[in-house]
Structure 1
Amino acid sequence: MLAPPAQHGMTVLNREAFKLSFQTLAVRVPAKGVTQLQKSLQKDVLLLPRLRSVANDPDSKDIKLVLLREDLTNIESLTSEKKKVVDEQGLAVVHHTVELGYDYWTADQILHAIIPLDKVKEIPTSFTNVGHIAHMNLREDLYPWKHIIGQVILDKNKTVTSVVNKINNIDTKFRFFEMEVLAGDKNMVTEVKESNCRFQFDFSKVYWNSRLHTEHERLVKEFQKEQLVCDVFAGVGPFAVPASKKGVNVYANDLNPESYRWLKNNKALNKIPDSRLMPYNLDGAEFIQQAVKDLSEKQGNTTWRTFDHFVMNLPDTAIEFLGAFTGLYKDQKALYDAADPKPLLPMVHCHCFTKSDEPAKDIAERVEHYIGSPYDPATSKLHFVRNVAPKKDMYCISFRLTPAMAFGTSIEKRKQDSDPSSPPTTKRQAV
């Protein structure tokens, strides 16, 4: 297998260092006879990816060179039948030099030539496309070559104009990660198309994960036209915007001011009416209470009507916000009791991580701890989303609020009732 020359000492990309030439046999044939000769010679024709097996003859524009496979040292190596085809047509066999350069090799081949395998665990060539940005998560053992890696990725992917590397975990407050530009321009404002919607955002200041598009589409399909959805950690709108465009009424929130700004931008970009998508910029727990209050006031406080779904796509800590649902509707219990037939309480879709060998048990215990009462297994569903790291999986637990949850007493209130001297829990910001 052909490979570019090894350049393990390279620290600054030198494209001229990857030239390679080799000689092969070539059959001189009139241009009109090329196709027939290729069929006759079949597997003895040079077959290399991204390289034509036909070259121009340097002495005549009416003659072409059909290149033979590189391991053939002389025409006698052909079978007698194939050699007879060449002889009967009186075709000349010549030596031809094939020259390959940097543009010929793939990113994987170039990086294998530069990075010594005994120094790293593996050679990186994969990345996530975020519009014009190639987003990489490089391990520290690759840092000595990070700028070369970025430049090679930039060179080999024509739709990419910036290559960035994540250099820390997601910001604990505003849900974005710090990054460095490895190659290309520093413009981080990009546009992504997903679910027949356009999303614009500054990738350096908000959270976006293109790998979650299937999960976005899965949940949006569960929302029916004219239903009410409360998106607690909406980001720039990957759930809220397509749901609104579908005819769902969405109250959408994010604590990050930049996410809130781009959520409003994407609402306008996709021509969504104000009545379909209501953006908020609040703490997650505060938003849940405010959205329920605003909806109740909009309904006139005379009949029971609330959200059909709550979406909580913040897998690192969303479970910890479930306490906001305990007793959330206690002031509306009389309206609920008066309704006939009894309406369904909202479905909660809560994303979370788990490292447990028993994910269902682990997630159930954590959910019930924060919400203060068990959920109904008959109306719940645990959906595997994806593996995010070794022994770390992302799930979505969907369950319907029970009357005990919706009209009950919060954990903090129960603690206060049992121990009045216990100080109240400090309000925690969304993360």
Structure 2
Amino acid sequence: MSIFFPPAHHGMKVLNRAAFKKSYDVIGVRVPAKRVGIVVKAFGNNLLNQPRLRNVAEDSGSKETKLVLLKADLRREDLENLPQEAKKVMETDVLGVVDHHIDLDYDYWTSEQIMHAVMPKDAKEIPSSFTQTGHIAHMNLREEYYPWKTIVGEIILDKNKNITCVVNKTNSIDTTYRYFKMELLAGDGNMMTMVKESGCRFKFDFSKVYWNSRLHTEHERLVRMFKPSENVSCVGDVFAGVGPFALPAAKGGAIVYANDLNPSSYEWLNENVQLNKIDSKKIHTYNMDGREFIKKAVQDLQETSTEWKTFDHFVMNLPATAIEFLDTFRGLYNDKKELFEASKDAKLPIIHCHCFTKSADPRQDIFDRVAHMIGAPVDSELTQLHLVRNVAPKKDMYCVSFPLTPDVAFAPLSKRKSDESHPEDTATQKIKL
């Protein structure tokens, strides 16, 4: 644990790196270079033991000796109270006790230490957390820290050598394509980046598409479900983005139909198919509204066979609004019922729908909302609810997975539930997280 802290400059708004110099005086014992290991072992917890500082320093007086530095609060008179082993070494190996001067500057302190030094004294926490996407650090600064946003960006940039650009999510949201707009806090402003995940490379313009590195575990969890023991799995990715579900699934052997309404996401999805050398027969890409894609993909896949054929899985990773698209599945196959009944091995897809909830009873809340949109009760025994992550205090992201049942799939077409008002719909934000 460090007992060294930088000088406090609470309220600093323009980063002055020269203001963080600080000096400490400690004592050290001079020992023959060949006996350093023995002395270090004997002194143990009484060594300097400070992060990023060596316990052994060069001795300016001789190349034959070294200085073993002792903890900062230890004084000469305290040496008499050392453990017996250390006292013995003092008698046999120590050539003398000397004063040693340590100069520390901005480069030594961590980003957290510098931010503690510049934030107001009454700050409850420091805004040091960020998500890294390639060379870009993405922050979600609270408004109370906006006066310090530039200095925070510079500190993050300075202290993370593989980061060249720091951005902050603004309150402005692209309402059509559902991605956060960014403001540059520090760095070169280069938003073109590349990320490696699940054995694939993803290239994209971070300012124009949605990407969340914190979801890599969820991407991998679902992709593992797309690998059946027999036959080839067919996957429909309704809100595919740049392909974090679609590409690993296709690379793993699935046939994927992937869609995104955002032209930039669609462009980079296709670019990443090429980048990862995925066979074009394994993945089919679309740039459509989610509802229209679901209908079109079902039709296109069925046209590849004269017998019943449909998807094994549909992924709907747009947690703010995906539930509102579930009404598309009601009556989706009502003109294909004869094909279904003529096939002895006919099956219907499993739907994986991501969503947010603030309810104290997430299971009941999500099941009620799903049931409202598909127009049928949720079978609790066949439905799985997986907690993906906590997004904000009292707000969680879940994935609800359930099989599409014949009574919903072959139901008569009727007015979409999403056209009706529903109190739960207003509780969701119109954006992916």
TM-score normalized by structure 2? 0.91
| Equivalent position of 1:338 in the other structure | 342
| Equivalent position of 1:85 in the other structure | 89
2 CA distance for matches of 1:402 and 1:122? 49
Conserved? CA contact 2:29–2:94, under 8 Å: no
**1:218 counterpart SS class:** helix
Conserved? CA contact 1:283–1:430, under 8 Å: no
2 CA distance for matches of 1:350 and 1:84? 69
Deviation at 1:59, TM superposition (A): 2.2
| Equivalent position of 2:130 in the other structure | 127
2 CA distance for matches of 1:51 and 1:232? 52
| Equivalent position of 2:270 in the other structure | 264
- Letter aligned with residue 177 of structure 1: F
Residues 326-363 of structure 1: per-residue CA shift (max 9 Å, x gap)? 1111111111122224x121111111111111111111
Residues 195-247 of structure 1: per-residue CA shift (max 9 Å, x gap)? 11111111110000111111111111111251111100000001000000000
2 CA distance for matches of 1:308 and 1:287? 16
Conserved? CA contact 1:7–1:114, under 8 Å: yes
| Equivalent position of 1:244 in the other structure | 250
Compared CA separation, residues 170 and 216, structure 1 to 2 (3 A): farther
Deviation at 1:90, TM superposition (A): 6.0
2 CA distance for matches of 1:62 and 1:75? 27
- Letter aligned with residue 46 of structure 2: D
Deviation at 1:324, TM superposition (A): 0.9
- Letter aligned with residue 4 of structure 1: P
- Letter aligned with residue 307 of structure 1: F
- Letter aligned with residue 67 of structure 2: L
Q: Do structure 1's residue 58 and structure 2's residue 60 form an aligned pair?
A: yes
Compared CA separation, residues 338 and 40, structure 1 to 2 (3 A): closer
2 CA distance for matches of 1:150 and 1:267? 34
Deviation at 1:30, TM superposition (A): 2.1
Identical residues among aligned pairs (%) = 59
Q: Do structure 1's residue 99 and structure 2's residue 99 form an aligned pair?
A: no
**1:24 counterpart SS class:** strand
Q: 2:365 aligns with which of 362, 372, 375?
A: 362
| Equivalent position of 2:427 in the other structure | none
Conserved? CA contact 2:179–2:431, under 8 Å: no
1 CA distance for matches of 2:402 and 2:179? 28
Greater shift in the superposed pair: 390-399 or 257-266: 390-399
Conserved? CA contact 1:376–1:402, under 8 Å: no
After superposition, residues 5-404 of structure 1 pair within 5 angstroms as 5-75=7-77, 77-79=79-81, 81=84, 82-89=86-93, 91-118=95-122, 120-168=123-171, 170-224=173-227, 226-299=232-305, 302-341=306-345, 343-404=346-407
**1:286 counterpart SS class:** helix
1 CA distance for matches of 2:371 and 2:417? 15
1 CA distance for matches of 2:399 and 2:26? 58
1 CA distance for matches of 2:411 and 2:418? 13
TM-score normalized by structure 1? 0.92
| Equivalent position of 1:426 in the other structure | none
Deviation at 1:406, TM superposition (A): 0.8
2 CA distance for matches of 1:142 and 1:9? 11
Greater shift in the superposed pair: 202-211 or 84-93: 84-93
Deviation at 1:271, TM superposition (A): 0.8
Compared CA separation, residues 10 and 241, structure 1 to 2 (3 A): same
**1:151 counterpart SS class:** helix
- Letter aligned with residue 36 of structure 1: I
2 CA distance for matches of 1:94 and 1:294? 82
Residues 169-208 of structure 1: per-residue CA shift (max 9 Å, x gap)? 6433212111111111111111111111111111110000
- Letter aligned with residue 66 of structure 2: K
2 CA distance for matches of 1:293 and 1:116? 60
Q: Which runs of 5+ in 2 are unaligned?
A: 420-429
Conserved? CA contact 1:195–1:217, under 8 Å: yes
Conserved? CA contact 1:255–1:284, under 8 Å: yes
2 CA distance for matches of 1:373 and 1:246? 34
- Letter aligned with residue 23 of structure 1: D
Conserved? CA contact 1:375–1:401, under 8 Å: no
Deviation at 1:71, TM superposition (A): 1.4
Conserved? CA contact 1:375–1:402, under 8 Å: no
Conserved? CA contact 1:75–1:93, under 8 Å: no
| Equivalent position of 2:423 in the other structure | none
2 CA distance for matches of 1:155 and 1:106? 10
2 CA distance for matches of 1:292 and 1:314? 20
Conserved? CA contact 1:76–1:83, under 8 Å: no
2 CA distance for matches of 1:278 and 1:61? 69
1 CA distance for matches of 2:57 and 2:383? 65
| Equivalent position of 2:424 in the other structure | none
Compared CA separation, residues 251 and 309, structure 1 to 2 (3 A): same
Conserved? CA contact 2:373–2:417, under 8 Å: no
Deviation at 1:83, TM superposition (A): 4.0
- Letter aligned with residue 365 of structure 2: D
